[in-house]
Amino acid sequence: MLKVGITGQAGFVGKHLYNTLGLFSEEFERIDFEKYFFEDENKLNDFVSQCDVIVHLAAMNRHNDPQIIYDTNLGLVQKLVSALTKTKSKAHVLFSSSTQEEKDNLYGKSKKEGRELMVEWAKNSEGKFTGMIIPNVFGPFGCPNYNSVIATFCHKLACNEKPKIEVDGDLKLIYVGELVDEILKEIRSKESKNQVLVAHTSESKVSTLLFLLEKYKVEYQDNGIIPELNSMFEVNLFNTFRCYMDFSIHFPVKFTQHKDSRGAFVEVIRLNVGGQVSFSTTVPGITRGNHFHTRKIERFAVIKGKALIQLRQIGTEDVLDFYLDGIDPAYVDMPVWYTHNIKNVGDEELYTIFWINEFYDPNDPDTYFENV
């Protein structure tokens, strides 16, 4: 079993990598890292000495003073190299660099020079080094006004603000889940590579991104419609947008009931995308679910009985509780990387309709069990 530590564990990419490593608990053991370790030589040395693999993600991306970015990023690498040297580490170090390396700015310079320092360490030790040149990364839980323009657009739209395009450039993009797969591939290879160019998986103008995200906002957030998703990139972009919504306020969403002497008619879901619809009956006191998905889009609609639906983001402790009653039918959608369940809290049988955007594939279920 490989012991893997991640500097920048609490950051955007670090959080996704840390959580994904947890899905392979028989292959990897996660060595926890805290930001303050860089200010405590003993803590940093102890961390380094425990690791077979270190993924160096800690870095400053933005600051009003570019010199501070340069000094900070190079300083972090120097501290890591010092710890590797003092502990006589033979770890495989993976370094997150950027396509900004070749541009004339201090952020790119800090990344290039930091990677060169790591190459020199590997030459002088028996350790291994892999330098990964990474394009623009987007995905759920990125920090707006910091990690990416997509994070900023999603945050503003979800808060009913109007984003502005400063420069309508062409972006070469990779989804954070795809980047994590590339990092895992390099970890498993156990090979040194001074420079690995991570290929972008999609390309888009900024205006096209904003057009799609505005469509998701109007169709999904405002009207509950699952939008047309024509590629895996659009699925990833939609799942990214959903994670910036305030679920505690948005859900549960009440259905519109059309009642007459015969009873009631309820429209459960409007789709511009396919998928699978199913239903379940659940006896009182029973809980279903306690799992999460990394890519699937899912809706739970309670049409009879009383239910408690719970959501918790992986890696956090806060639980969202939603109480639904078939007398007043409503639905809750499941965000990616949120473990979820549904429990019959009433005295009668619970009827629930489920929709998910892809057929169930036992060879690729994208279903990971974890109690809420």
> Which of 86, 87, 75, 88 is CA-nearest to residue 117?
75
| Parallel, antiparallel or unpaired: strands 350-356 and 298-304 | antiparallel
Q: Hey, how many other C-beta atoms are within 10 angstroms of the C-beta on 371?
A: 11
Q: Are 325 and 302 in contact (CB under 8 A)?
A: yes
- The token duo for 326 is 């078939």
d(CA 116, CA 124): 13
CA–CA distance, 29 with 41 (Å, rounded to integer): 23
- In 3-state terms, what secondary structure has residue 113? helix
Is residue 371 predicted with pLDDT exceeding 90?
yes
Dig out the tokens for 47 from the structure.
């961390």
Could you count the other beta carbons within 10 Å of the beta carbon of residue 68? 12
The pLDDT of residue 263 is 85
Give the mean model confidence (pLDDT) for residues 203-225.
98
One-letter identity of residue 359: F
Cβ-based burial of 66 (10 A; exposed 0-12, middle 13-18, buried ≥19): middle
- What integer is the mean pLDDT of 102-116? 89
Break the chain into its structural domains and give their ranges: 2-134, 248-369
d(CA 305, CA 315): 31
Query: Does the pLDDT of residue 100 top 90, yes or no?
Result: no
DSSP string, 8-38: TTTSHHHHHHHHHHGGGTTTEEEE---GGGG
Angle among Cα 16, 17, 23 to the nearest 5 degrees reads 95
Which residues, at least 6 apart from 206, have a Cβ–Cβ distance to it below 8 Å?
149, 165, 167, 168, 169, 171
The answer to whether 354 touches 266, Cβ cutoff 8 Å, is: no
**Secondary structure (3-state) at 332:** strand
Domain 2-134 annotated CATH 3.40.50.720: yes
Per-residue burial over 32-57, b if 16 or more Cβ lie within 10 Å, else e, is ebeeebbeeeeebbebbebbbbbbbb
Residues forming a β-bridge with 296: none
Residue 116's identity, in one-letter code, is: E
Q: Mind listing the pLDDT tens digit for each residue in 153-162?
A: 999 999 999 9
* Cβ-based neighbour number of residue 284 at 10 Å: 14
Task: Please name the residues in contact with 3: beta carbons below 8 A apart, sequence gap of 6 or more.
Answer: 28, 29, 31, 50, 51, 52, 53
Decide: pTM greater than 0.75.
yes
Q: Report the pLDDT value the prediction gives residue 364, as an integer from 0 to 100.
A: 95
Residue 62: pLDDT band by 50, 70, 90 thresholds?
A: confident
Q: Whole-angstrom Cα distance, residue 262 to residue 368?
A: 42
133, two tokens:
């040149």
Place 209 in a pLDDT band, splitting at 50, 70 and 90: very high
248-369, what's its fold?
Answer: Jelly Rolls (2.60.120)
Mean pLDDT is lowest, of 68-72, 101-105, 216-220, 343-347, for: 101-105
Q: Is the peptide bond before 252 cis (omega within 30 degrees of 0)?
A: yes
Task: Provide the pairing of β-strand 330-334 with 276-282.
Answer: unpaired
According to the model, what pLDDT value does residue 102 have? Answer: 79
What residues have CB less than 8 Å from 243, skipping those under 6 apart?
Answer: 140, 141, 154, 335, 336, 337
Average pLDDT over all residues of the chain? 96
Q: What is the pLDDT of residue 104?
A: 78
